[in-house]
């Protein structure tokens, strides 16, 4: 008897689809709110009060996710990936290598006694007393033999930084400790303004731990990816200094940037086989989500986690030494005091780097211009559109008798080409003659508005590197100024050149 093929295959296909749907439904039960919260924010929970440096670093370590066209991959994928790699002065191994560094420890309340006991023979075995610790900052450094693309060179060390809260709770007379994710920073090209920073959003239960770090093709800048989808979404994957955040710009490998701000076409698609997983301990609550048939990360490489070596280890190679020195601490961890923590903004945001000073030429009149944060000690981002609102004061004339005060708005602090707009008051001291031909001074105050563009460059990678004493950024501002509120009656060009991001 002849059976028509479509009559046979159709029921089989329907059966497969129905089975798949049923299987998917069985494995996709809605989680409770507490389960969602723990999966999104908790690296580890337990009752033990001491832990080795390496154990702590392993629980909190991120996933590194590469572009499929990353030059150092050499076309490898899955379990065959061997990057990031070890420093040349260390023993190699048959796996990728990432270096951890516990940079800062914040004590809990009035904790007494040592917060950690360092083992100098093997840093991995150093012990943390987590019962006395309130929070920890930890860095994960990843090294590559070379950097490709614009400004390519040998040796490239990059960094991702994490802030971890150690929460203490009591349940049924038992004390539990939780390692809670607070913040991740993906460093980009060693400039703090370019940092990709994500601070915890307690409503974002889609956060994926271990945390995913996207690695820029060829240049290896780190970028935060909170939901682990392989795409960088501005304002979502980075929620601090959004307009200045570098993102992940794979196109820079070609030597072209096209735009000073991130655009979606700059990033290539990342697929799961190009992820490299951390060595999660057996009791990690996250490990089960990446285990199949009792094998953890069966389809992806797992990196070896090592303590960050001191920069003196690289003294035999000048380029490598210079590359490591900005990431390696001479002695770690550092125990921070509460008093120092109060002023943490001055250190993390580096207020001194938020100040600009420039020579100003206003229609042939020389002067100086100063820009600084709107709240003096804190920068203010403009709502919804991003960008910054800052103060600007300028002094003009030989004796600086003329001055102006503006509120200046600019889309970014560090973009190499950007616009700006300012508005405020300008005060001029005029000398006039009365009816008796006697000279008198008169103060004239006008509304002043300025519109133009600015060009900024990082001098650290140029022959003008010596100028970074004042600021990493130097540049020019060219604009058109008008005096008068209701009419255009006094318009001229403005030219400024100097140091600072604004």
The pLDDT, as a whole number, for residue 321 is 93
Say what the pLDDT of residue 401 is: 87
Give dist(CA 477, CA 482) in Å, integer: 16
Q: What is the CATH number of the domain that holds 467?
A: 2.40.160.20
Residue from 69, 72, 85 nearest 251 by CA? 69
Across 168-178, average pLDDT? 94
In a domain, 11, yes or no: no
Q: Give the pLDDT mean for 456-463.
A: 80
Is 50 exceeded by the pLDDT of residue 318? yes
Round to whole Å and give the CA distance between 216 and 379.
Answer: 28
Q: Which of 80, 98, 185 is nearest to 144 (CA)?
A: 98
**Domain encompassing residue 207:** 33-342
280 and 395 fall within a common domain: no
**Domain assignment of residue 156, yes or no:** yes
The predicted model gives 13-24 an average pLDDT of 35
Over the stretch 367-401, which tens digit does the pLDDT of each residue have? 999 999 998 878 888 888 888 999 999 999 888 88
pLDDT at 351 over 60: no
* Residue 176 is assigned to a structural domain of this protein: yes
- pLDDT at 463 (0 to 100): 81
How far is 9 from 5, CA to CA, in rounded Å? Answer: 6
Query: Which has more confidence, 161 or 348?
Result: 161
pLDDT at residue 359 greater than cutoff 50: yes
Answer with the one of 342, 365, 381 that is the final residue of a domain.
342
Residue 104 has pLDDT above 90, yes or no: yes
The verdict on 367 and 292 lying in the same domain is no
Mean pLDDT lowest for which of 113-122, 186-195, 294-303, 304-313? 186-195
Instruction: State whether 266 and 383 are in the same domain.
Output: no
Q: Has residue 416 been placed in a domain?
A: yes
- Reported as a single tens digit per residue, the pLDDT across 198-217 is 999 999 999 999 999 999 99
Say how many C-beta atoms besides its own lie within 10 A of residue 326's C-beta: 11
Q: Give per-residue pLDDT as tens, 392-445.
A: 999 998 888 899 999 999 999 888 899 999 999 999 988 777 777 777 788 899
Separation between Cα atoms, residue 498 and residue 496, nearest integer Å: 7
Q: Give the per-residue pLDDT at 403.
A: 93
Distances (CA, A) of 469 to 89, 352, 476: 32, 11, 18
Q: Which of 308, 342, 376 is at the close of a domain?
A: 342
- Count CB neighbours of 231 within 10 A: 15
In a domain, 2, yes or no: no
From residue 52, how far is each of 69, 118, 130 by CA, in Å? 37, 9, 10
Q: How confident is the model at residue 258 (pLDDT cuts 50, 70, 90)?
A: confident
User: Is the Cβ–Cβ distance between 164 and 182 less than 8 Å?
Assistant: yes
Domain co-membership, 81 together with 206: yes
Is 3 a member of any domain?
Answer: no
- Same domain for 74 and 188, yes or no, is yes
Q: Pick from 307, 342, 377: which residue ends a domain?
A: 342
pLDDT at residue 23 greater than cutoff 90:
no
Is 26 part of a structural domain of the chain? no
Residue 164 shares a structural domain with residue 215: yes
376 and 262 in one domain? no
Residue 19 lies in a domain: no
- pLDDT (average), residues 230-234: 96
pLDDT at residue 398, rounded to an integer:
82
Q: State residue 9's pLDDT score.
A: 39
Statement to judge: residues 334 and 361 lie in one domain: no
Q: Based on the domain organization, do 69 and 171 belong to the same domain?
A: yes
What's the total number of domains in the chain?
Answer: 2
Q: Residue 3 has what pLDDT?
A: 44
pLDDT of 348 above 50: no
Output the CA angle 484-489-493, nearest 5 degrees: 90
**Confidence check: pLDDT of 343 > 50:** no
What's the whole-number average pLDDT of the chain? 88
pLDDT at 12: 36
**Residues 212 and 310 reside in one and the same domain:** yes
Give me the pLDDT at residue 28, please: 59
- Give the whole-angstrom CA distance, residue 271 versus residue 117: 41
What are the tokens at 176?
Answer: 């539990």
Based on the fold, state whether residues 309 and 385 are members of the same structural domain.
no
Could you tell me if 390 and 298 lie in one domain? no
Residues 6+ apart with CB under 8 A from 356: 369, 370, 371, 372, 471, 498, 499, 500, 501, 502
CB 137 within 8 A of CB 159: no
How far is 61 from 112, CA to CA, in rounded Å?
A: 28
What pLDDT shows up at residue 21?
Answer: 35
State the Cα angle at 138 between 132 and 140, rounded to 5°. Answer: 155
């Amino acid at each position: 008897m002849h059976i028509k093929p479509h009559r046979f295959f159709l029921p089989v296909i329907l059966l497969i689809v129905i089975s798949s749907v049923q299987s998917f439904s069985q494995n996709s039960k809605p989680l409770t709110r507490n389960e969602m919260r723990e999966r999104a924010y908790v690296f580890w929970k337990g009752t033990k009060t001491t832990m080795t440096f390496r154990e702590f670093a392993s629980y909190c370590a991120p996933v590194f996710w590469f572009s499929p066209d990353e030059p150092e991959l050499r076309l490898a994928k899955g379990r065959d990936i061997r990057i990031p790699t070890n420093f040349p002065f260390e023993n190699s191994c048959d796996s990728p290598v990432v270096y951890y560094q516990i940079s800062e420890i914040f004590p809990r309340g009035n904790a007494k006694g040592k917060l950690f006991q360092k083992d100098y023979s093997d840093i991995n075995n150093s012990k943390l007393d987590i019962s006395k610790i309130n929070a920890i900052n930890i860095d994960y450094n990843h090294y590559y033999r070379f950097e490709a693309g614009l400004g390519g060179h040998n040796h490239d060390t990059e960094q991702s930084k994490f802030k971890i809260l150690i929460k203490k709770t009591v349940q049924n007379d038992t004390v539990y400790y939780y390692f809670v994710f607070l913040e991740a920073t993906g460093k980009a090209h060693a400039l703090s303004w370019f940092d990709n920073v994500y601070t915890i959003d307690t409503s974002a239960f889609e956060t994926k731990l271990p945390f995913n770090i996207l690695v820029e093709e060829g240049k290896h800048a780190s970028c935060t990816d909170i939901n682990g989808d392989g795409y960088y979404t501005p304002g979502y994957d980075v929620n601090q200094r959004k307009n200045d955040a570098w993102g992940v710009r794979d196109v820079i490998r070609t030597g072209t940037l096209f735009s000073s701000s991130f655009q979606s076409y700059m990033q290539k698609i990342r697929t799961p086989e190009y992820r490299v997983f951390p060595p999660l301990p057996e009791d990690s609550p996250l490990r089960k989500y990446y285990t199949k048939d009792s094998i953890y990360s069966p389809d992806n490489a797992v990196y070896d986690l090592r303590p960050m070596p001191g920069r003196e280890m690289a003294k035999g190679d000048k380029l490598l030494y210079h590359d490591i020195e900005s990431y390696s601490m001479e002695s770690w961890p550092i125990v921070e005091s509460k008093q120092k923590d109060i002023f943490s903004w001055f250190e993390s945001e580096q207020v001194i780097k938020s100040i600009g000073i420039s020579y100003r030429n206003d229609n042939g009149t020389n002067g100086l211009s100063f820009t600084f944060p709107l709240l003096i000690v804190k920068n203010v981002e403009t709502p919804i559109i991003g960008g910054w609102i800052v103060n600007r004061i300028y002094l003009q004339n030989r004796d600086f008798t003329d001055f102006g005060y503006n509120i200046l708005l600019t889309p970014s602090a560090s973009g190499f080409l950007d616009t700006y707009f300012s508005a405020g008051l300008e005060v001029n001291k005029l000398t006039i003659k009365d009816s008796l031909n006697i000279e008198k001074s008169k103060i004239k105050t006008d509304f002043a508005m300025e519109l133009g563009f600015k060009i900024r460059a990082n001098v650290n990678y140029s022959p003008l590197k010596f100028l970074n004493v004042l600021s990493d950024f130097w540049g020019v501002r060219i604009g058109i100024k008008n005096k008068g509120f209701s009419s255009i009656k006094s318009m001229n060009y403005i030219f400024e050149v100097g140091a600072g991001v604004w």
